[in-house]
Amino acid sequence: METNSLKHLYVEGLKDLYSAENQLVKALPKMARAADSADLRVGFEQHLIQTKEHVARLEHIFSALGESPKGEKCKSMECLIKEGAEMIEEVSASEELDAGLISTAQRVEYYEIARYGGVSTYAKRLGEDEAVPLLRQTLREEIETYRKLSQLADRINLDAANSNESDGGSSQSRRWPQELAPN
């Protein structure tokens, strides 16, 4: 592959991530408000702070490249967020809602891990020495967030399963605020 083609993939990947991270900045507060579990709510709030740092790192990389971060909306992230909102809109029990929120967040993190892994490889190949450590730092943070979500999911999914068994699945209804409903 020619360097120019790789550079194009790199820049487009960065733009995709910039869009994805900015979508998350908007979605995470809504997810935090919807969470019943205090641990999950705090996790979303902490990840929001981290996500804003990811946006700032990407802006720094774009500045060094002399490129604009603006591009097409990341359709993958848009679909993940919409899918999660639709799925969660149908869930009525708070334990199930939290399990659904975690599932959505895990899919988001997995997508980000794949994208950051790819662009950090491109950056290394292109000799973008300033960007590589920034991208790898973000990648490590996304992996750590995924691990934390997985640990939390073990407990919350068990709570959701036990709730269904103990109350016949008729837990108190809990819906997302109207602002979270899919468009």
pLDDT of residue 168: 44
Contacts of 92 (CB under 8 A, 6+ apart): 171, 173, 174, 175
Residue 182 near residue 89, CB atoms below 8 Å: yes
Q: Is 130 helix (H, G, I), strand (E, B) or coil?
A: coil
What tokens appear for 26 in the block?
């908007």
pLDDT of residue 109: 96
Provide the domain count of the chain.
1
Structural domain boundaries, residue 46: 3-163
What CATH number did the domain enclosing 152 receive?
Answer: 1.20.1260.10
pLDDT of residue 172: 36
pLDDT of residue 76: 95
The verdict on residue 183 lying in a domain is: no
User: Which residue type is seen at 102?
Assistant: I
Q: d(Cα 113, Cα 121) in Å, to the nearest integer?
A: 12
pLDDT of residue 97: 85
Mean pLDDT per 10-residue section of the chain, whose length is 183 residues: 80 98 95 90 96 98 96 94 78 79 93 97 97 98 94 79 51 38 39
pLDDT of residue 167: 45
The verdict on residue 135 lying in a domain is: yes
Residues forming beta bridges with residue 173, ordered by sequence position: 93
The verdict on residue 169 lying in a domain is: no
Q: d(Cα 104, Cα 81) in Å, to the nearest integer?
A: 7
To the nearest 5 percent, what fractions of the chain are helix, strand and coil? 80, 0, 20
pLDDT of residue 177: 40
Q: d(Cα 119, Cα 59) in Å, to the nearest integer?
A: 15
The verdict on residue 181 lying in a domain is: no
The verdict on residue 11 lying in a domain is: yes
The verdict on residue 88 lying in a domain is: yes
The verdict on residue 168 lying in a domain is: no
The verdict on residue 155 lying in a domain is: yes
Q: What is the DSSP letter of 171?
A: P
